[in-house]
Amino acid sequence: MIFITLGSQKFQFNRLLKAVDGLVENRKIKEEVFGQIGNSDYIPENFESRRFLDHKEFECMMNRADVVITHGGTGAIMSAIKKGKKVIAIPRLAKYGEHVDDHQIEIVGEFKNLDLICECNDIENLSDALDKVTTHEYKKYESNTQRILDNIEKFIDLI
């Protein structure tokens, strides 16, 4: 299953929804797709969607998904990679009214450089990104929280 999550910010991401809808309609995407579409104006015609999910519903969809398609927000990306999901991240762009600036290009680029996700900066390449994400082996996310806590503990012990 493919899970699309577009977050809860006030911005639409119609461009992404239209692209996925077209790929489903043209049978380039054959598996089940579900979209959490947030504040987008476009309502998909070829896959099921809801504007918002509660925490339990979101976790259920994330757990069911093989692939997660998301915007370039760190929260959405981190939620997916922590669960070991294959992620395609598409930055929201200011020129389309999807955000106030283009900072998501940098966020997506950094996750790509770490080989944790598939970057898709051009929505026209989404079909290629879907092919790539299913065949490429991405690195597994490793939290450094424990290392940070250990360093803090060592520092406190030195005081």
Domains and CATH numbers, the chain: 2-158 (3.40.50.2000)
- Give the pLDDT score at 40: 96
- Give the pLDDT score at 130: 97
| Tokens encoding 115 | 């080989």
Q: How far apart are CA 56 and CA 104, in angstroms?
A: 27
- Give the pLDDT score at 8: 86
- Please choose, from the candidates 14, 131, 140, the residue with its C-alpha nearest in 3D space to the C-alpha of residue 67: 131
- Give the pLDDT score at 109: 96
C-alpha Rg value of the chain to the nearest Å: 17
Q: How far apart are CA 2 and CA 18, in angstroms?
A: 15
- Give the pLDDT score at 159: 76
- Give the pLDDT score at 152: 85
Neighbouring-strand partners of residue 118: 88
pTM: 0.89
The helix/strand/coil state of 153 is helix
The pLDDT profile of the chain, 159 residues, written as one tens digit per residue, is 999 999 888 999 999 999 999 999 999 999 999 999 999 999 999 999 999 999 999 999 999 999 999 999 999 999 999 999 999 999 999 998 899 999 999 999 999 999 999 999 999 999 999 999 999 999 998 877 777 777 888 878 877
Would you give the DSSP letter of residue 27? T
Q: How far apart are CA 146 and CA 4, in angstroms?
A: 31
